[in-house]
Amino acid sequence: MDTVSRLICLARLLAAVDKRCLLGRTTVMDVPAAGEGKASFHVLLDGECTVDLPTRQIVLKAGDALVLPNGEPHRVRTNGPGRPHGTVETPGASFDTIRSSHAEDGVIDLFCGHYHFGSGAGAILFRTLPDPLHVNFAASDVVEMLTTIMRREAIDAGTGTAIVLSALSSALLAMMLRRSGASVPLWTAVDDPRIRAVIDEVVLAPGDDWPIARLAKTASMSRATFIRHFTRTTGMTVGAFLTHVRLMMAAESLSSTDLTVAAIAGQVGYKSESAFSRAFREATGQTPAKFRRSAGSHVVEPHL
């Protein structure tokens, strides 16, 4: 299995489209925090709007996708003359429809939703992503087809629409994670084939011994050059990368096997159970034992 597919499987994500927003001009819509274990996302099919975050503004154009890994509260607004208008919500079986309160025809077609993940591998994965993660797919025929299907499903809103939109939203995330050329380094979408080879090798066998010398050799670089280039290309240090990947794999083993904590520690490359337990707790806020006990009780709530 390729790297992005494996990471998404480990994260055990469930995507949900919560709202379709057909907003007119001069409209504001406040989006609350997604909640624990959730990352917000937006996909803009038509028009242009601004997303106001606590520390910055992002202009979305048709073909843009935006993920907020921390799910912080934010505001979506459209430009236009006069005082800003609010919104009116129409509940639906699969998602809610949001329109401007002044009943103007929509100038944007925006899907809003969330990715729900557990406290283990999913939380670690989203912690490694740029915040926000903003990708433009305007030139992608594949994504255009995907969003066309999303729109058609939303218009028809028939039996199975919620699960179809969920699957399409998961596919969109996979495309974002493999999309290169972002303004912020994204370790899952590295262009350089030498660094890509290192990432793929580690994800394939995280429990191997991975000294810098071996990683540098895999990348056909000197140690010093490799360390600098890896950090510049991926946005994280080599050590942080190794830790994140190993702990994602460990979280999966803790939740799906009966192996002892010591065995899992060795399986993912830790020489001592105590060192593994410290690293796992720092990454997830839980000891391996506590995480294992709670893993079976994680329930993802669908849109009702």
Q: Which residues of 281-304 are buried (b: 16+ CB within 10 A; e: fewer)?
A: eebbebebeebbeebeeeeeeebe
**Cis status of the peptide bond prior to 132, with omega within 30 of 0:** yes
pLDDT in tens, 132-164: 999 988 878 888 899 999 999 999 888 999 999
pLDDT at 181: 56
Residue 299 has pLDDT above 80, yes or no: no
pLDDT at 180: 64
Non-local (6+) Cβ contacts of 99 within 8 A are 21, 22, 23, 24, 87, 88, 90, 106
**Mean pLDDT, residues 58-77:** 96
Q: Are residues 13 and 146 in the same domain?
A: yes
pLDDT at 131: 92
Q: Are residues 18 and 104 in the same domain?
A: yes
Q: Are residues 43 and 97 in the same domain?
A: yes
pLDDT at 183: 61
Q: Please tell me the least confidently modeled range out of 15-19, 273-277, 296-300.
A: 296-300
Q: Are residues 161 and 224 in the same domain?
A: no
Residue 200 has pLDDT above 90, yes or no: yes
Our count of domains for the chain comes to: 2
Residue 301 has pLDDT above 80, yes or no: no
Q: What is the pTM of this model?
A: 0.90
Please tell me the distance from the alpha carbon of residue 279 to that of residue 124, in angstroms, as a whole number: 12
Grade residue 195 by pLDDT with cuts at 50, 70 and 90: very high
Look at residue 236 and tell me if it is in a domain: yes
Q: Are residues 194 and 165 in the same domain?
A: no
Please tell me the distance from the alpha carbon of residue 113 to that of residue 67, in angstroms, as a whole number: 10
Q: Are residues 146 and 44 in the same domain?
A: yes
pLDDT at 185: 80
Look at residue 56 and tell me if it is in a domain: yes
Q: Are residues 150 and 76 in the same domain?
A: yes
pLDDT in tens, 262-293: 999 999 999 999 999 999 999 998 999 999 98
Surface-to-core class of residue 64, CB atoms within 10 Å of its CB (0-12 exposed, 13-18 middle, 19+ buried): buried
Q: Are residues 240 and 275 in the same domain?
A: yes
Give the domain range for residue 117: 3-177
Q: Are residues 70 and 102 in the same domain?
A: yes
The residue among 125, 152, 177 that closes a domain is: 177
The residue among 152, 177, 202 that closes a domain is: 177
* CATH number for the domain that contains residue 291: 1.10.10.60
Look at residue 304 and tell me if it is in a domain: no
The β-bridge partners of 51 are 58, 76
pLDDT in tens, 230-254: 999 999 999 999 999 999 999 999 9
Q: Are residues 9 and 94 in the same domain?
A: yes
Residue 211 has pLDDT above 50, yes or no: yes
* CATH number for the domain that contains residue 85: 2.60.120.10
Look at residue 300 and tell me if it is in a domain: no
